[in-house]
Amino acid sequence: MNVLEATEERLSLIFSDFDNVLVAFSCGKDSGVLLSLAYKYATENNCLNKLAFYYEDYEAGYRYTDEYAERTFAELNVDRKYWLCLPITAACSVSMYEPHWIPWDDEKESIWVRKMPVGDYVINAKNCPYEFIKGTKGFDARLQFSDWFAKKYGRTAVLVGIRAQESLTRRAIFTSQHRKYMHKGLCYSKQLQNNTCNFYPIYDWLTEDIWVANAKFGFDYNKIYDLYYQAGLTIDQMRVASPFHHSGQDNLKLYRVIDPGNWGKMVGRVNGCNFGGIYGGTSATGWRKVEKPKHFTWKQYANFLISTLPDVTKKKFLYHINRLLKTWKEVGYGRNPEVIQTMKDEGLVLENTHTICNRCTKQKIYEVVKFKNDDFLDETSIPMFRKCPSWKAICVAIMKNDYTGTYLGLQRTKDQNIMRQNALNKYQARKRLKELSGEKA
């Protein structure tokens, strides 16, 4: 079968196994096609009563995205639809001073990029049907919403339009041998709570498949893609993301031309927006070919870049750089024999513990090695910086505003995990108290 037939088979199983099917709609090409396919299936199989969808609005974006959202909410005959305009914490990669920003922040209403949408399906800080804490991360906000939805309406399948072709990270979601929590062992599913489960029905589609489906069925889509095409972008370069997020940074400069009205408001909304619009997608922000001044080594250049940062950001970078080096020296990382040999050839002195990395699924392939050197290499020929960090990689991370060290392969610290869990526990405790109070009343 082709990918369309496979997706229809998946939708049949999902609609059959769950009381509700909630589509996470972002106004991008993938989630747009997924919503259209789910709506088409529900209409043809007389189960529209099970279908619902939501859109998490980030305030700043192309007007074409807003228009697409408005058309979708007006035209789809779905009773349960939700337009979320909540003051979440969103990533901001264009500013060293504001690593995050808060869309729909009521304290900054006077400089909002646009007015709050109108409709009985709009959920904001004033009418949210469940307790929402300002500054909740966008990802966590989506989990909270789907959890509230499932508790109100019953077992829910949440459809997410991500594809393995987009990145190795997304591909790993479907191919990792460490995955345990799946619905009926299906690789395109992820069990979240007892009553919610994520599904990725178009995970094996190619970008070309998305546009073939739009043409074949006449699906509506975000017309910003037409303008991207006219601007010379290939179909693989076209992204609809939060404009200040690193994945949308490369196209930020197009806002000035495509949507000049919104551009002026965006410049006043987020610190660093204009810089990102000029230099996004260039070596100035750590993309493509990165060069350093000839009189600097990469370590000297990294120290120079760090010296130009605000104090808070500087401390974060120095902390993560020291943490990365300490982990390599005291704990080590699992690497395959080819990478280990390359590291040795380039001058690293390694201690091979001959311990198989517990995250490796192939026996005797990934052995844990530790640095015996007191410093990183200045530069390495290994293409993936996560495999062997260097001072050049650190320079790139600084340019990308990657103050958490994700680009260098760092995971959350123990303290960060504790803080996150405490926040979740606090939220759950508050919600439980409200439920108990309601029962007594």
- Band of pLDDT at residue 231, cut at 50, 70 and 90: confident
| Phi, psi dihedrals of residue 350, rounded to the nearest 5° | -115, 150
CB 273 within 8 A of CB 365: no
pLDDT above 70 for 330: yes
Which comes out higher in pLDDT, residue 228 or 419? 228
Average pLDDT in the chain: 83
Which comes out higher in pLDDT, residue 304 or 252? 304
Which ranges constitute the DSSP H helices of 18-137? 29-44, 63-75
- Band of pLDDT at residue 92, cut at 50, 70 and 90: low
pTM: 0.68
pLDDT above 70 for 256: no
**pLDDT per position as a tens digit, 349-378:** 999 988 887 666 555 578 899 999 999 999
Residue recorded with tokens 């619905």: 183
CB 367 within 8 A of CB 338: no
Cα angle value 191/193/198 (rounded, 5°): 40
**Which of 221, 123, 205, 117 has its CA nearest to residue 160?**
205
Cα dist. 202→11, 161, 237 in Å?
10, 6, 19
Burial class (CB in 10 A: 0-12, 13-18, 19+), 183: middle
Q: Where are the domains of the chain?
A: 3-217, 224-285, 298-410, 417-441
Residue 159, strand partner residues: 23, 199
pLDDT above 60 for 279: no
Q: What topology is assigned to 3-217 in CATH?
A: Rossmann fold (3.40.50)
CB 392 within 8 A of CB 378: yes
Task: Give residue 257's pLDDT.
Answer: 56
Of 179-188, 197-206, 419-428, which has the strongest mean pLDDT?
197-206
Task: Give residue 416's pLDDT.
Answer: 52
Task: Give residue 265's pLDDT.
Answer: 61
Cα dist. 292→286, 299, 318, 392 in Å?
11, 10, 20, 9
Of 65-74, 176-185, 258-267, 344-353, which has the strongest mean pLDDT?
65-74
Q: What is the rounded distance in angstroms from the CA atom of residue 193 to the CA atom of residue 196? A: 5
